[in-house]
């Protein structure tokens, strides 16, 4: 440590001399004192060798870089697919169909897992509010709460009772010890799965990666749980954040 600090002083002195030689008029005494080198952090125990790579990837993901996470809106209250049912029936079925499969070209099949897994609900809320492709904007004709509820009603098409049942069992067996029965979190650092912010701004595809590879002090689950088990438990976790049409809580 001491020799390292001496080295830093030496380097700064040489730089100062060079600066002086180059005719820098500032006196040396005005130079900033060298900042002490912080002690090196102890390397934390690594649960598995790929964890570091995952964390690095997570740091550069759009969420972590704040590209979308900061801009994404959050509902003021817990969203409700149940409350969204009537909004959807009145305004959306003409193009999306009562079954959510879509009746006009380009509409996504909402019973398929794609939107549910790949999009943050807040991103869909923005599409619905501002319009997208052939879909008109709804922000002037529907209240914010109605738009949130309609989006969660749309997402709820991809949820099946079977997946929820399996997901709840997996959650109870493997996850409640740290995340709690209610999903609000017991262990330090665990997110609150029931918070409007979590349910609106996270993408299941990102959470799938965290669950599979591990994150922070959470161990990886891909060795213990099959891919479909991991999706089922995430489906269950997602429904903790809104009032689903499917009565599994």
Q: Which residues bind ligand HEC (CB under 6 A)?
A: 88, 91-92, 94-96, 104, 106-108, 115, 123-124, 127-128, 132-136, 138, 150-151, 154, 174-175, 177-179, 187, 189-191, 206-207, 210-211, 215-218, 221, 233, 237
User: Closest CB to ligand HEC among 5 and 90?
Assistant: 90
**In Å, how far are 38, 154, 163, 230 from 99, measured between CA atoms?**
60, 10, 18, 26
> Which residue intervals of 97-175 are DSSP H helices?
114-118, 121-130, 144-156, 161-174
d(CA 191, CA 183): 8
- The least distance separating ligand HEC from the CB of residue 157, rounded to whole angstroms, comes to 10
Residue 62: exposure state from Cβ atoms within 10 A (0-12, 13-18, ≥19): exposed
Closer to ligand HEC by CB, 115 or 159: give it.
115
Q: Which helix (H) or strand (E) holds 96?
A: helix 93-96
Q: Which is nearer to ligand HEC, 113 or 191 (CB)?
A: 191
Give the nearer residue to ligand HEC in terms of CB position, either 39 or 133.
Answer: 133
Q: How far apart are CA 249 and CA 17, in angstroms?
A: 71
Identify which of 113, 21, 73, 98 has the alpha carbon closest to the alpha carbon of residue 201. Answer: 73
* Shortest Cβ 11–ligand HEC spacing (Å): 37
Instruction: Give the residue among 189, 178, 175 at the shortest CA–CA distance from 237.
Output: 175
Report, in Å, the least distance between residue 212 CB and ligand HEC: 10
- When the beta carbons of 33 and 70 are compared against ligand HEC, the nearer one is 70
Q: Minimum distance between the CB of residue 83 and ligand HEC, rounded to whole angstroms?
A: 13
Q: Residue 154 in contact with residue 244, Cβ under 8 Å?
A: no
Structure letter (DSSP) for residue 30: G
Instruction: Determine the number of helices (DSSP H) and then strands (DSSP E) in the chain.
Output: 12, 0
* 197 or 246: CB nearest ligand HEC: 197
CB of 6 to ligand HEC, least distance (A): 39
Closest approach, Cβ 169 to ligand HEC, in A, equals 11
- Gap between the Cα atoms of 161 and 236, Å rounded: 10
| Nearest distance, CB of residue 211 and ligand HEC, angstroms | 5
Comparing CB distances to ligand HEC, the nearer of 91 and 239 is 91
């Amino acid at each position: 440590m001491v020799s390292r600090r001496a080295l830093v002083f030496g380097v700064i002195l040489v730089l100062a001399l060079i600066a002086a030689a180059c005719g820098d008029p500032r006196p040396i005494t005005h130079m900033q004192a060298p900042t002490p080198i912080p002690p090196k952090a102890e390397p934390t125990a690594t649960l598995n060798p790929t964890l570091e790579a995952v964390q690095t990837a997570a740091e550069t993901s759009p969420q972590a870089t704040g590209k979308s996470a900061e801009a994404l809106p959050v509902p003021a209250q817990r969203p409700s697919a149940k409350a969204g049912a009537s909004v959807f029936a009145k305004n959306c079925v003409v193009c999306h169909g009562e079954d959510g499969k879509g009746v006009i070209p380009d509409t996504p099949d909402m019973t398929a897992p794609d939107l549910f897994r790949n999009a943050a609900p807040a991103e869909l809320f923005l599409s619905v509010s501002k319009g997208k492709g052939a879909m008109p904007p709804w922000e002037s004709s529907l209240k914010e709460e109605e738009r949130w509820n309609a989006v969660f009603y749309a997402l709820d098409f991809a949820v099946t009772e079977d997946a929820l049942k399996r997901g709840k069992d997996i959650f109870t067996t493997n996850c409640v010890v740290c995340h709690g029965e209610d999903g609000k979190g017991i262990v330090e650092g665990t997110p609150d799965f029931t918070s409007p912010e979590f349910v609106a701004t996270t993408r299941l595809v990102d959470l799938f990666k965290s669950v599979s590879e591990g994150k922070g002090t959470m161990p990886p689950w891909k060795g213990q749980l099959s891919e479909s088990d991991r999706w089922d438990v995430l489906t269950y976790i997602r429904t903790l954040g809104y009032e689903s049409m499917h009565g599994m809580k």
